[in-house]
Structure 1
Amino acid sequence: MNLPTEDARGMARALTELLDTGRHALVASGSPLAARVADHVGCPLAEIPNVAEHLPSWDHANLQCGVDAYLARHSPDAAWFGIAGSRHFTPVVDMLTTADTNGQYRLGAVDYTTVATGPATAAEAVQLGLVCTAAPDGSPVVLAVQGAEEARGEDRCHLQVLAAERSTGAAVREEILTLAREHDVFRGQVLAFGASEHRGNRLLTFLPRPSMRADQVVLADGVLASIEHHVVRSAERTAALREHGQHLKRGLLLYGPPGTGKTHTVRYLLSRLPACTVFVLSGVAMIRWLRATAALARRLEPSVVVVEDVDLIAHDRSMTMSGNPALFELLDEMDGIGSEADVTFVLTTNRVDTMEEALAQRPGRVDLAVEIPKPDAACRERLLRLYGGPALRLPDASPLVAATDGVTASFVREWVRRAVLKSVTSGSGLDEPALRAALDELMSQQQALTRSMLGGRR
């Protein structure tokens, strides 16, 4: 049937109005929760594409930072709203669909949780909530943030962007992730991976950054200067290396008997690198979080990855990842992070012999190996005076220093601590008699095991 032009246009207008009326009825027919989302986005829930980002639970604080920065830029007055009726982890889109069909989920208050942002700081983050905002091009979108429910085995936090067009949602998601990296709470912090009682949880713990002076590190002449020169690098030196096409990544191995000061030296290095993000791995964390740590170190460069007592995974070759010895996995991660990355790996070991073969088979991972031996006589006297402090009254330390030949720095520290306790009990000062009495006690047969654990002579 051929209609006059005006009649055809009138019918088209009537059809459009009918469709709009039907679409509006479809949007508004659901629950207030579903209607609030659909009305803002401007299309039925069933037509909203799913644009999401799933992050590890320990990235929740950064996700919140990214969302907050996005809202401050595009809709500073936007108000969050929540979902009532949630009893277990369900994706937000599924909640909205259920709300639209049977009313199980309703408009409610926003759920918040507390997330760490530093060793002694924390912030509130949305555990479950939505907010109406706009895309960079002005299109209406709804953001949904959902935190992990670790007690139920859900160890990821989630961002969902609800928009009429997938491209719009993707653009919003990318801007939020970019802002999250710009405001990353991990940057410049000292962090350690651990685990909780909840299965599969990946916890990142903030540690206080050490504050130490060079005179608090007692090593043989020139050793500390060599380590500092290799690890501590100014921005100018980094820029110069890049300009000349040289690699930035470096590897340091500190080896020696237990108790000689390897960890103490590492703590001093961390105090000299206040702008670096530091990751400390030890124990099971060496195996479980190695890849995650390498990825974060690359993301947050300049960074330092400290792997303590690496001989434990070198010695126990039953501890594997992906069928490969764990030590080889560590060395492969060190290589795979890329030579252009400003990342320093600092390894400590009590048994370098267990690593020599692996290091030889993977050359280039460690470019400086430094022995931290038991302190010689000069270092033992420096340690004695360091730990004794201003209270020490000892004009001539040579007899006591000679009597402690072969002990470690840990032994000297415990020796001085016991001498201080004896001096307090007796009312005398921290002098040679107090030190001699404490040393005789440690050297007695009854203290043989204690002496061994402290690194003293057998």
Structure 2
Amino acid sequence: MTDLKISEGRCQFCHRVASDVPRLIAGDSAFICSDCVESCSALLNPKEGVAEDGPLAEYHLFERLARHFAPLRPQELIATSRTYPLRQQADLQMALDDIFGERRIPENFVGIHQQYRHEVLGFSKVLEQGRGAVEAAPAQYEEVDIGRGETVRCLKNGLWLMRDGGEAFAVLLAQHHDYGSSGDTNIEIMAAPGEHGAALCTRVFDALELRLSKGSCYRGRVLSLERQDQYSGHAPRIFVHELETVSRGDVILPEATLAAVERNVLGFAGQRQALRALGLSTQKGLLFHGTPGTGKTHCIRYVAGRLPDHTTLLITAEGAGLLPQYMALARLLQPALVVIEDADLIARDRSERADACDEVMLNRLLNEMDGLRERADVFFILTTNRPETLEPALASRPGRIDQTIEFPLPNGDLRKRLIALYAKTLPVPAALVEELARRTDGASPAFIKELLRRIAQHHLEVAQGGDVAHDTAEAALHEMLFSGGALNARLLGGAVPEAPN
């Protein structure tokens, strides 16, 4: 008798290695895995009461397809496919469920055992017979977060066996995985040859497109695209941000600045329908500029909260390589608010560029904002701390940037409002508020916010009750301005005063 033992190697039946199977058994000159042993056992000893030619004995998908399409042979049918980016996975799953209804296993749906995920799984592969035949398997799912505490349970692959009237058709869903990264989702429809089959495929894909464009679960949310560890140009997932609600009273800006923001964003959004009726563009570009920490991002959060029907897309310099995917998403989910933070990092003056890749990113941004493609209900809001470094073709050309809005450092009255806002429930006496407002002349809102947190920390350390003492506030201010040196003050957005005598 052959001496059997658990070992390392590759199964001679399914060609999987030891790490891919529960057990790999070595004989005198070959290996077989435990999965193949069980399959052989099931073929040799079918369960009692189940006919060998019944549906439960059809372990391979080519057998199920042959029965579903009989008397036509699957090889005589036509197949049409479309590829969808993985970022649409949740929307695609909801659209498929809406079109095809309840999945009943094994009546009209079956999961797939996909042996090698880097291979594109299509009907040509599913119809293969012999050693590499694709087997039925339990359906595999993954939970995709769509924000607000909600998830969508998405299939990783599956086969629908459907009928349209008396005509059979099949739909195959499979994810394609590149080595070391996630890829796209492929949908393939197989139907009878001829006009009816072609029309059926078109009708199903049109229904999918309609639901993807009109019924996205991401519409009206704040999104960014996740990047992979290895750069491959893919945008595998959508990340949903839960931003803190910002009221108008929490936006401490000069009234003229805030009014300009509201007129050019909120007012413009309310007039879009009338502007479109006049034949005017409904795309608008704005540039928020000012020293660091003056409230540009804070104001964007306020604006996004006032536009609940708009989908907000957050693009950082790190995500600039995914700009085409962001723009496709903005047009799909319009009306949209596209925010490009620190725009000077990807749109600085051409004369300062030495990298061809940077030039490509700049040109993509210019083309999108210039409206070379279809006009859409899209706001572009770019932020920068250094407007003088921006490419003139972006900053000095109407149609790309329609309005620039400066965010200045706060004056004395605004600093008092900021101190009251950031103190929250911290008991700061009115006289101390006045003194802090005077002492922080030239400081940014970000500096004042951190100062109030430091004061709270010092106040808790001395463990005294009642109002914040003058000495406590002085200790926090000294730590920020003098103990850390000039660099610390600049990093925190504060003016650097002369050291006290």
Shared fold (TM-score, shorter chain, > 0.5)? yes
C-alpha contact 2:91 2:216 (8 A) present in aligned 1: yes
Superposed, 1:209-228 pairs within 5 Å as 209-228=243-262
Match of 2:476 among 417, 434, 438: 438
Counting only pairs closer than 5 Å after superposition, residues 103-122 of structure 1 correspond to structure 2 as: 104-122=133-151
Deviation at 1:340, TM superposition (A): 4.3
Secondary structure at the counterpart of residue 425 of structure 1: helix
Q: Cα 1:178–1:228, aligned 2, differ >3 Å: closer, same or farther?
A: same
1:161 aligns with 2:189: yes
Question: SS of the counterpart of 1:192?
Answer: strand
Matches of 2:73 and 2:144, distance apart in 1: 34
| Residue correspondence of structure 1 range 63-142 to structure 2 within 5 A | 63-72=92-101, 79-84=108-113, 86-90=115-119, 91-98=121-128, 100-102=129-131, 104-135=133-164, 139-142=167-170
CA pair 78-452 structure 1, distance change in 2 beyond 3 A: farther
Between 330-339 and 397-406, the greater mean CA deviation after superposition: 330-339
Deviation, structure 1 residue 343:
0.6
8 Å CA contact retained: 2:443, 2:494: yes
Q: In the aligned structure 1, how far is the partner of 2:448 from the partner of 2:384?
A: 21
Q: 1:187 to 1:143 in 2, by over 3 A?
A: same
Kindly report which structure 2 residues correspond to 1:27-426, keeping only aligned pairs within 5 A, or say none.
32-42=60-70, 43-72=72-101, 79-84=108-113, 86-90=115-119, 91-98=121-128, 100-102=129-131, 104-135=133-164, 139-149=167-177, 152-164=180-192, 165-197=197-229, 199-200=231-232, 201-202=234-235, 203-233=237-267, 237-286=271-320, 288-315=321-348, 317-318=353-354, 320-321=356-357, 324=359, 326-336=361-371, 340-355=375-390, 357-359=392-394, 362-396=397-431, 397-426=433-462
CA contact (8 A) 2:108 2:162 kept: no
1:152 deviates by 4.3
Quote the residue 2:12 is aligned against.
none
CA contact (8 A) 1:192 1:204 kept: yes
Equivalent residue of 2:346, what SS? helix
Deviation at 1:150, TM superposition (A): 5.4
For residues 116 and 74 of structure 1, the distance between their equivalents in structure 2, rounded to whole angstroms, comes to: 22
Task: Check conservation: 1:249, 1:341, Cα contact below 8 A.
Answer: yes
Q: CA deviation at 1:325?
A: 5.1
Instruction: Report the AA paired with residue 384 of structure 2.
Output: T
CA distance in 2, matches of 1:388, 1:138: 71
Question: Which residue of the partner structure matches residue 8 of structure 1?
Answer: none
Q: Deviations over 1:207-254 (max 9, x none)?
A: 114311111111112211220121114876222222222221111110
Distance apart, 1:199 and its partner CA: 4.8
- Counterpart CA distance in 2 for 1:239 and 1:73 is 39
Higher relative contact order, structure no. (Cα contacts within 8 Å, ≥ 6 residues apart): 1
Q: How far off is 1:138 after superposition? A: 5.4
1:121 deviates by 2.1
Where 1:35 maps in the other structure, the secondary structure is: helix
My pick for the range that moved more, 78-87 or 152-161, is 78-87
**Structure 1 residues 401, 169: closer, same or farther in 2, change over 3 A?**
same
Distance 1:361 1:239, change over 3 A: closer
Match of 2:488 among 444, 450, 458: 450
Instruction: Call closer, same or farther: CA 1:393–1:64 in 2, change over 3 Å.
Output: same
Task: Give the Cα separation in 2 of the matches to 1:150 and 1:270.
Answer: 36
Task: Read off the aligned partner of 1:141 and give its amino acid letter.
Answer: F
How far apart are residue 307 of structure 1 and its match?
Answer: 0.2
CA gap 1:359/1:38 in 2 versus in 1, 3 angstroms? same
Whichever residue aligns with residue 351 of structure 1, its letter is: R
Alignment partners' CA distance in 2, 1:339 and 1:130: 36
Distance 1:386-1:339 versus aligned 2 partners, 3 A rule:
farther
Shift of 1:364: 1.7
The alpha-carbon distance between structure 1 residues 416 and 361, as it changes in their structure 2 partners (threshold 3 A), is closer
* Gap change, CA 1:235 and 1:409, over 3 Å in 2: closer
Cα shift readout 1:380-407 (whole Å, capped 9, x = no counterpart): 1111111012433322233322211111
Decide whether the 8 Å contact of 1:297 with 1:343 is kept in 2.
yes
The 1-side partners of 2:143 and 2:157 are apart by: 12
SS in 2 for 1:391: coil
CA distance in 1, matches of 2:166, 2:208: 15
Task: Give the Å deviation of 1:339.
Answer: 7.3
Gaps of 5+ in 2: 1-52, 497-501
Shift in Å, 1:356: 5.8
Q: Distance in 1 between matches of 2:216 and 2:450?
A: 41
More helix per residue: 1
Larger mean Cα displacement after TM superposition, 211-220 or 382-391: 382-391
Q: Secondary structure at the match of 1:444?
A: helix
User: CA contact under 8 A between 1:317 and 1:326: conserved in structure 2?
Assistant: no
Distance in 1 between residues matched to 2:148 and 2:406, nearest whole Å: 32
Query: Amino acid of the residue matched to residue 163 of structure 1?
Result: A
SS at match of 1:289: helix
* 1:18-68, Cα deviation, whole Å (9 max, x unpaired): xxxxxxx9xxxx975212123323432222222111011111111111111
Percent of aligned positions that are identical = 28
Work out the CA distance in 1 between the residues paired with 2:105 and 2:220: 28
CA drift at 1:70 = 0.5
The count of corresponding residues between Structure 1 and Structure 2 is: 427
Q: Which amino acid letter does the alignment assign opposite residue 370 of structure 1?
A: I
Distance 1:258 1:146 in 2: 47
Q: Which amino acid aligns with 1:192?
A: S
Deviations 1:404-424 (A, max 9, x none): 111111110111100001111
Q: Please, what is the CA RMSD of the aligned residues?
A: 2.8
Counterpart amino acid of residue 391 in structure 1 = L
Q: Helix, strand or coil: the match of 2:161? A: strand
Query: Distance between the aligned counterparts of 1:174 and 1:95, measured in 2?
Result: 25
Q: Which runs of 5+ in 1 are unaligned?
A: 1-24
TM-score, length-normalised on structure 1?
0.85
CA distance 1:353–1:166, change in 2 (3 Å):
same
